[in-house]
Amino acid sequence: MLKASLVLSPDYVIAPVRRRLFGSFVEHMGRCVYTGIHEPGHPTADEDGFRGDVLELTREMGVELVRYPGGNFVSGYRWEDGVGPVADRPVRRELAWHSIETNEVGIDEFVRWARKADVEVMYAVNLGTRGVAEALDVHEYMNHEGGTHLSELRRANGSSEPHGVKLWCLGNELDGPWQLGHKTAHEYGRLAAETARALRQAEPGLELVACGSSSSSMPTFGEWESTVLELAYDEVDHISLHAYYEVLDGDVDSFLASALDMDRFIDSVVATADAVGARLKSSKKITLSFDEWNVWYMKRFQEAPRTEWEIAPRVIEDQYDVTDAVVVGNLLISLLRHSDRVAVACQAQLVNVIAPIRSEPGGPAWRQTIFHPFALTSRLARGQVLRVETSSPTYPTKRFGDVPVVDAVATHDPETGDTVVFVVNRHQSEPVDLRVGLAAFGELTVAEAWTMHDSDSTATNTETDPDRVVPQPQKADITNGELLVALPPVSWTAVRLTNR
C-alpha cells in the first residue's frame, strides 16, 4: 500500500468558498431543454411544463447558478423569438448544433424555472451575429422595471417584476472558427468593451464576463486574453475559460491527472491578466469565470456529424463511469484550490447533454456517476478554502510526466467548526494509506465520510440501474491528532470533521 500525508491549518486560508463555483449550464442543445428541464405532459411536469423530477435533482445536486442560453447556440440566437405567446413564436434553423429550435422555452420560461430551482441566472448575450443594440434590448426586457417599450412587453408577457439578472457573458467562444460571427481578438475586444460600457450605462452594478480562449490548446491562447483585456480591462470583471477532458488513445493515467491541466490553464490566465493590469498600471484584479468544464468524449461526437434537421435530437449523451466521476471530483478540487481568482464555474451541461442528470421522454430521470462528487462538494464545502501541504508518491503519465498519486483540498467553517477534506487517489491499482495532520484544529471527530469507488472503474448508472454507483460510507479514524483514511484505487473521498 502506498503512503501519503496532508497537513492543514485553519490559518492557511486561500479565500472564502465561492458558492458560484457550483454552477451549471443549460444550452438549447440536444435534449438539455426539451425533454430535459421542460416536458409538458410528463408525469412529473408542473403547470409550466417543467419536469419535477429534474428540478428535484437539480436542487439535490446543489447547483447555485446556471449559465443560459449558450454556448455556441447563443451566437445565432434572436432572443425576441422566445418571448410572447408560444403559438406565435417562430421556428428556426439552429446552425451551431444543426437542429430545429421551436422557441417554446425562452427568457421568461427559463427565469421561472431558475426561480423554482433556486438558482441564479447567468445570461449570455449574442455578440456573434448581433451586437451592442441587441444587448441593450435584451437587458431592457429582462432588467428594466417598467415604463419603456421592452420592459412593458415583459410585463405584458406575464413577468411583472424585472428578472434582475446581474451576471452577463459578453458572447461565447468568439476565438473559435466554428463560432457564428467568429472574430479576431482585436475585433472582439473592441466589441466587448463597447457592449460593456453600454450595459453599465443602463445598469451600473452589472458583472460582466469577457470571452477568453475556448481552450488552452487554441493557437491564439494567451495572445487572445492579452489583446482582449488590453481593450476591455476597465470595463469587465471576469474573463472566461473553457476546458473538457476525455481519455485519449486509451491513456487513463493521464486522464486521471486532468486537474493538472486545469491548474496550469488557470495559472496561465491569471498571469496574463495580471500582466495586462500591470501594463495598464491598474490596481484592479480580473477574476476568472470557468463557465464550461466537464468530461466530454468529444472525439465520439466529432466522428458522427449530424446531417438531419430535428427538434431536440440526441446529442452527446455521454454515459459516465467511476473513473469519470473521480476526474470530476478532482476538477472540483482544482476549482476550490483557485478560489482566490476563480469567481464562477459552470459544469457543462445540466441535463442529458454531457450531463450529471439524465432523463428519458415520458420516463425517469437519474443521477449519473459525476452527479455525486458535485453534490457532495457543494453540500460540504463551506466557510474558507485552506491550502493543503501534500506529501505523495508519484506515478508516470505520458502527458504530464510524474504526477502525484494524491491530490487534495480542504475547507473550514469557523462558524460551525466543520473541516472537510476532499481527496483523490489517481492510481489505477494501488490503494493509499493517507494521514492528515489536524493538530492545529484542536479536538475533532469524524462526522461523515464518503468515497466514490467501485471494483469496476468502468461501472455506470443507467435507466434500469440508476444506483449502480453511489457514494459509499468510508471508514475514517482520528488518532493522536491525525486523520487516518485508506483510499482505494481510482477514488474520490470527502471527510467532514467537526469539533462539536
Q: What is the pLDDT of residues 151-178, one digit of tens each?
A: 999 999 999 999 999 999 999 999 999 9
Residue 245, pLDDT above cutoff 70: yes
> Which residues on adjacent β-strands are paired with residue 500?
none
Q: Mean pLDDT, to the nearest integer, of 39-58? A: 98
Residue 302, pLDDT above cutoff 90: no
| Alpha-carbon gap, residue 111 to 109, rounded angstroms | 6
Q: How far is CA 495 from CA 11, 139, 377, 419, in A?
A: 20, 43, 10, 8
Q: What is the pLDDT of residues 74-88, one digit of tens each?
A: 999 999 999 999 999
Note if 482 is an active site residue.
Answer: no
Q: How far is CA 164 from CA 83, 143, 168, 399, in A?
A: 17, 5, 11, 45
Q: Identify the three-state secondary structure at position 437.
A: strand
Q: What is the pLDDT of residues 180-226, one digit of tens each?
A: 999 999 999 999 999 999 999 999 999 999 999 999 999 999 999 99
Q: What is the pLDDT of residues 413-471, one digit of tens each?
A: 999 999 999 999 999 999 999 999 999 999 999 999 999 999 999 999 999 999 999 99
**Which is nearest to 214 in space by CA: 353, 71, 22?**
71
Spatial contact of 414 and 491, defined as CB atoms under 8 Å apart: no
| Alpha-carbon gap, residue 331 to 298, rounded angstroms | 18
Question: Would you state the pLDDT for residue 304?
Answer: 72
Residue 100, pLDDT above cutoff 70: yes
Percent of the chain with pLDDT over 90: 97
Question: Would you state the pLDDT for residue 114?
Answer: 98
The catalytically annotated residue of 27, 104, 140, 292 is 292
Q: What is the pLDDT of residues 328-341, one digit of tens each?
A: 999 999 999 999 99
Pairing of strands 23-25, 65-68: parallel
The catalytically annotated residue of 39, 101, 173, 225 is 173
Spatial contact of 367 and 380, defined as CB atoms under 8 Å apart: no
Q: What is the pLDDT of residues 359-412, one digit of tens each?
A: 999 999 999 999 999 999 999 999 999 999 999 999 999 999 999 999 999 999
| Alpha-carbon gap, residue 189 to 271, rounded angstroms | 19
Instruction: Enumerate the H helices of 248-321 as residue ranges.
Output: 252-256, 258-279, 298-302
Q: Per-residue confidence at 289, pLDDT binned at 50, 70, 90? A: very high
Question: Would you state the pLDDT for residue 300?
Answer: 77
| CA dihedral over 224, 247, 471, 334, signed as positive or negative | negative
> Which residues on adjacent β-strands are paired with residue 245?
295
Residue 303, pLDDT above cutoff 70: no
Spatial contact of 8 and 389, defined as CB atoms under 8 Å apart: yes
Q: Per-residue confidence at 472, pLDDT binned at 50, 70, 90? A: very high
Q: What is the mean pLDDT of the chain?
A: 97
Question: Would you state the pLDDT for residue 433?
Answer: 98
